[in-house]
Structure 1
Amino acid sequence: MTQTPTDLDRRFMAACIRLSRRHLGQTGTNPSVGTLIVTSGGHGPEIVGRGITAIGGRPHAETVALAEAGERARGATAYVSLEPCAHHGRTPPCAEALVSAGVSRVVAASSDPDPRVSGKGYEILRAAGIEVVPGVLAEDALPVLSSYLIRSAKKRCQVTLKLAVSADGMIGRAAAGQVPITGDVARAQSHVLRAEHDAILVGIGTALADNPELTCRLPGLGHRSPLRIVLDRHARLPVASRLVQSVGDAPLAIATVAPDTETAQVLEGAGVRLLACEEHCGRIALPELLDDLAAQGISSLLVEGGAEVARTFLEEGLADRIVLFESDVVVGANGIAAPFSRATLPGGYVQSGEWLFGADRCFEFTQES
């Protein structure tokens, strides 16, 4: 039996989705899912259990929330941001755990495309007489689940292309190292993006010119710095670079077509991971790299630069999401032109968000489905 969602259902699902964001980029091959167990007492609804997919991917959110709720889960409503899993491993699937706990209703946001789960989780619940209300705020859950959904459908990691553009259409200044384009508030938001992704990528040109660290430098979130990847065909990254010197703070990999060279072996000896890649037209073959990253458990990739790398991801149709910061800063002479602007974005993208961070504007675009 499937019922129409109530305003209360939407309210708790919105809270469930917000909860699920907390472990973005930390759950391995599993999505970051939220679960709330809500009872209807004499004083109104009460949340008696909360759960998020644990860091590393196990246990699942339903298991965590049910453990907190205990016996109070019996007769309660479970809000889940993704259809409960239905396949057996060493532990029973979440759908069966919800049945065993005695919940009376399950309200879900998104269905799971995994063929081991798709629709089967709901079937287990309905067969036990549990009311199922699917598709509640599914669009709101999509930003949190999109990397998992893309990895499931396309067998590659999701790509977010991030760019900061000055008032005169530049992303930096030649031979000047890192040139601030946005203000402190927008830069803090960029670090939030890093914390929410499994990996961050730049080209060797940016790595050599800017000598960045690419870590998350927000108070309390340093431990959430993602895997850093440099597109470095010939393994030219200096051992003295900030990227290599900070390998103890965050993992680092270079994508190279020359993993057996002496320079590559020196980098590996310094703690750098080597990603052996194929080459196409003088460049690293990006589709194959994204496939390989997904196979290694990387579901979300943040591409930060530089101009040529961003342009290539766009030209090859590999940017699923674009986050564009616009600033009032004027770079002036020797500026490096941005590979695109809002006016020159290729077709197939729709604006999905707009924010103001201090004096800077931020626009989000996603590929049309």
Structure 2
Amino acid sequence: MSEKNVSHKKWMKRAIFLASLGKNTTSPNPNVGAVILDKYGNLISEGFHFKAGMPHAEAMAFNNLKKDAKGGIMYVNLEPCCHQGKTPPCVDKVISSGIKKVYISIEDPDKRVSGKGIKLLKEAGIQVNLGLCKKESLDLNKAFIHRNITKKSFGVLKWAMSIDGRIALKNGKSKWITNDESRSLVHSFRAEFDAIIIGGNTLRKDNPFLTSRGSKNPEPLRVVFTKSLDLPSDSHLWDCSKAKTLVIYNSSTSNESYLSRIPECVEVEKVSSDNPELISKILAKRGCNKVLWECGPRLATAAIKSNCIQEVITFIAPKILGGENNMSPLSDFEFREMDKVIKLSDLRVRLFGNDMSVKGSFKNF
């Protein structure tokens, strides 16, 4: 096979597929895959990043080489790093390998890299092509990109409701609105996230486990945001052998004497107000690329208003709860005109038995 007959898009899509193999395990790092062809256009190696602290995709690909890469081509969905972290800079390996062309899908938004890796490759005489399969690469790493640009975690808001838009009866009972299949999916769905957030009311009413039921190891960080610190002394979330738990409380409204109820294994942080943006920033600093909000109406609405939510997913059951006083998933946004309401895009609909899930974005990334 000659190089001019190589399908560049085919190999970049292969790199993106390889990157997706680390989808739930790489945070705070991005998902990256790399493919290397020899100078004749034959596949001689590939690799992907699996976990922070482990070799990057490019390094794995070089470790897996079947023959000399000199004069060859590399395809990588994200700009190679050029700084020393837990692993050496990937740019150095690319340059020393003798590769003559590198196809990069998107620049790295991390300020330690952003454009610098590409500059070093070009200065070394390597031909760099940027932008191949850009849309697919942006979608794969949208949470990592969002965290680096905004310094907030990428937020997904999830709720389950009846077909008439209710999440619970007036007395708070909600078990179970959706079917077994939907609830099982939610458990495995949690494996996509670095943290799961609820409010104090949800903890008091539901006493949830907030785990993926073993679909992810380690489990996502469980986060409770409370305005009062009036939390139960007995809770599933206080069992840190299953997953880590973090309590974030509003120091301006909380009774700090209640801190004695929280076990020592649970981490505690205080913030100055009840703005959900503070939670998102704390989790971003901890390296959480993507977080799931499973909170009640007031916190969910506040999170949307403070731009902490980028996607929503709702599970809809073919049941009617009725009643003006039954609980809705969100509080009042106080819209007065229809052209002011929130519009979702990029809708995806799936069926789970008799239940339906609808996923949408607040804006295209």
Q: TM-score, with normalisation over the residues of structure 2?
A: 0.84
Q: Quick one: which of 128, 151, 154 aligns to 2:147?
A: 151
**2:194 pairs with 1:195:** no
- After superposition, residues 325-344 of structure 1 pair within 5 angstroms as 325-332=315-322, 335-339=326-330
Partner residue, 2:13: 14
CA deviation vs aligned residue, 1:179-236 (integer Å, no higher than 9, x gap): 2333344434433432121111011111111111110026xx2424200101122223
Note if contact 1:171-1:337 (Cα within 8 Å) is conserved in structure 2. Answer: yes
| Match in the other structure for 1:320 | 310
Identify the match of residue 232 of structure 2 among 218, 225, 238: 238
**Match for residue 259 of structure 2 among 261, 264, 269:** 264
Given the alignment, which residue of 91, 95, 112 partners 1:95?
91
For the residues of structure 1 that align with 2:329 and 2:92, how far apart are their CA atoms? 52
Question: What are the superposed Cα offsets for residues 128-156 of structure 1, whole Å, 9 maximum, x if unpaired?
Answer: 33332221222112233122212221122
Contact persistence 1:213–1:243 (CA under 8 A): yes
Matched, 1:51 2:45: no
Q: Which amino acid aligns with 2:314?
A: L
Mark the CA change 1:243 to 1:9 in structure 2 (over 3 Å): closer, same or farther.
Answer: same
Aligned to 1:37: 36
What is the correspondence of 1:1-369 to structure 2 with a 5 Å cutoff?
A: 8-39=7-38, 45-46=42-43, 48-52=45-49, 54-69=50-65, 71-88=67-84, 92-217=88-213, 221-245=215-239, 247-258=240-251, 261-269=256-264, 271-279=265-273, 284-332=274-322, 335-339=326-330, 349-358=343-352, 359=354, 360-368=356-364
| 1:230-283 deviation line (CA, Å, top 9, x unaligned) | 1122223323212223x21110111113588343233142x111021112xxxx
Offset at 1:362? 2.2
Q: Shift of the alpha carbon at 1:176?
A: 4.9
Moved more, 178-187 or 247-256: 178-187
SS where residue 173 of structure 1 aligns?
coil
Is the alpha carbon distance of 1:257 and 1:111 closer, same or farther for their aligned partners in structure 2, counting shifts above 3 Å? same
Structure-2 separation of matches of 1:136 and 1:188:
37
Distance 1:350 1:106, change over 3 A: farther
In structure 2, relative to structure 1, the CA distance for the partners of 1:11 and 1:188 (3 Å cut) is farther
Q: Which runs of 5+ in 1 are unaligned?
A: none
| Alpha-carbon distance between aligned partners in 2 of 1:308 and 1:140, rounded to the nearest angstrom | 34
Moved more, 5-14 or 104-113: 5-14
For the residues of structure 2 that align with 1:130 and 1:78, how far apart are their CA atoms? Answer: 11
Aligned partner of 2:48: which letter? Answer: G
Q: TM-score, normalised by structure 1?
A: 0.84
Say if 1:166 and 1:35 are closer, same or farther in 2 by CA, change over 3 A. Answer: farther
CA–CA separation in structure 2 for the residues paired with 1:89 and 1:350:
38
Which moved further from structure 2: 284-293 or 207-216? 284-293
Cα distance in 2, alignment partners of residues 294 and 226 from structure 1: 14
Q: CA separation of 1:74/1:331 partners in 2, compared to 1, >3 Å: closer, same or farther?
A: farther
Deviation at 1:72, TM superposition (A): 4.5
- 2:129 and 2:275 mapped to 1: Cα distance? 43
Distance 1:72 1:214, change over 3 A: farther
CA-based RMSD of the aligned residues comes to 3.1
Give the residue type in structure 2 aligned to 1:20.
Answer: A
Question: Secondary structure of 2:234's match?
Answer: coil
TM superposition shift of 1:25: 4.6
Q: What does the per-residue CA deviation read over 1:288-310, in whole Å, with 9 as the maximum and x for residues that have no partner?
A: 23222222222222111212211
Question: Runs of 5+ in structure 2 lacking a partner?
Answer: 333-337
Moved more, 222-231 or 350-359: 350-359
| Aligned pairs, number | 353
C-alpha separation in 2, matches of 1:37 and 1:312? 47
TM superposition shift of 1:317:
2.6
CA distance in 1, matches of 2:68, 2:88: 20
Q: Shift of the alpha carbon at 1:313?
A: 1.0
TM superposition shift of 1:349 = 4.9
